[in-house]
Structure 1
Amino acid sequence: MAYSPEDCTRDPVNQPLIDLRDRIGFARLGIMNNQVWHEDPRRLVFTLARYKFVSKMLRGKERAVEIGCGDAFGSRLVRQEVRNLLVVDYDPLFIADAQARMIPPWEYEARVHDILAGPVEGNFDAAYSLDVLEHIPESEEDQFIANITASLQPHGVLIVGIPSLESQAYASSASKAGHINCKSGDTLKTVMEQHFHNVFVFSMNDEVVHTGFYPMAHYLLAVCCSKKEAGDF
């Protein structure tokens, strides 16, 4: 293919960048993360780090589902590591945005679903939910978790990410208004142990995931394995 001078980069190694731009255009941020990029760019790094953690924990899983995907901008990181991915959110606007930005080879299914209304149809060996539980009233959190686990295989994995209760002293007023159910690390572990035999809680500060002291964590990630059946409670 012949290129005119204005279409060529000075270093030929960069020419595939121009070819990709001309072939599929520029990728764009999702509705939610567009705001993040404009108002607090560092936060986008933290969000993507959470998705990277999930992707590495779920690597090789056959079927995974994301609960409360929002604009699903970070979901591609998980799709990179699992064979089949379904993302759901109760807001049709976000699902439409996710579908509009989907391109090969990163396709996945995006579906409107309110998890408080019932389980997601299907049978999954992994599920995850980031930045959702803190928006669920405490009176409904057991139903939230139960509806997710209902679609999991007996030895399936659930990962839940949530801002720590201690971090709320530094949260914006807008965040505090929506974060009605933040938890400390020990409390999150206790809640998840009502539904799973094994729960491992990690601390997170900025983009670093570690096993440090829960009260000093800004964010918490609970990895839950082997769901409890009715007779196990």
Structure 2
Amino acid sequence: MTDQAQTKEPQYELLYRVKQEHGISRFGIMANESWNKDPRRTLFTLARYKFVSKMFEGRKRVLEIGCADAFGTRLVQQTVGHITATDFDPLFIQDAKERLDKHWPMDLIIHDLLSGPIPGSFDAVYALDVLEHIEPAVERQFLTNALGSLEPNGVAIFGMPSLESQDYASPQSKAGHVNCKTMPDFKKLMEEYFHSVFMFSMNDEVVHTGYHKMAHYLFALGAHKK
């Protein structure tokens, strides 16, 4: 079918205009793996980004820590002013830059948060599926640097698999997980950095406030930085 083809219903001609303007989008290397090996996991990951996008709607300068291939970052980008996305792995940042759409500009930076804060000032910071990869001995160093660029009135979201979920996680999901937490322990850690911490549970793509021991994933939303 060519770009000059006419669809049966005229409203779908928009599909070809978007194709001409943006091309055909590609998965990132991480999203591509999950889409081909476990498509439902792709949905669960994107649902985490959707939660952040709703919580951060209207924020002006947002920092993502541990963006990987930055495939899900666009969901947050849709509701905020500007995104700076970082990862410590150059291959992920290279992949994200190769797929960057000029209509969806973002800053992509290689940075290891254990080495220091990101330069600049942000009114929101988030990290999904990152903290569980940070050794407990250096988690406070990581969090101090992660929040070093957060403005006093800014907000932050950290998300990680629950400790209880690891009994059911696949070997791939558990690989590198050295610091999963229960919700009470997660909240206690976040309260070292924020006066207000709000906890959410997640099962599959559903975010809720149900019994935390049955949650597969946890969100901590921090406000009023100490």
Provide the TM-score with structure 2 as the length reference: 0.96
Match of 2:206 among 205, 208, 224: 208
Amino acid at match of 1:127: V
Residues 27-76 of structure 1, C-alpha deviation per residue, up to 9 Å, x if partnerless? 01101000000010001111111101101111111111000000000100
Amino acid at match of 1:199: V
Aligned pairs (5 A) from 1:43-82: 43-82=41-80
Deviates more, 1:162-171 or 1:147-156: 147-156
SS for the counterpart of 1:10 is: coil
Match of 2:83 in 1: 85
Q: Which runs of 4+ in 1 moved over 4 A?
A: 3-6
Aligned pairs (5 A) from 1:54-133: 54-133=52-131
Q: 1:193 to 1:5 in 2, by over 3 A?
A: closer
2:3·2:16 contact (CA, 8 Å) conserved in 1?
no
TM-aligned CA deviation for residue 92 of structure 1: 1.1
Rounded Cα–Cα distance in structure 1 between residues aligned with 2:196 and 2:15: 46
Amino acid at match of 2:74: R
SS for the counterpart of 2:202 is: strand
Match of 1:189 in 2: 187
SS for the counterpart of 2:218 is: strand
Match of 1:227 in 2: 225
Q: Which runs of 5 or more structure 1 residues have no equivalent in the other structure? A: 229-233
Task: Give the length in aligned residue pairs.
Answer: 226
Query: What RMSD over aligned residues (CA atoms) do the two structures have, in Å?
Result: 1.6
Q: Which runs of 5 or more structure 2 residues have no equivalent in the other structure? A: none
Q: 1:7 to 1:201 in 2, by over 3 A?
A: same
Rounded Cα–Cα distance in structure 2 between residues aligned with 1:79 and 1:206: 22
Q: Percent identity?
A: 54
Match of 1:231 in 2: none
Amino acid at match of 1:66: E
Instruction: Give the greater-gyration-radius structure (CA).
Output: 1
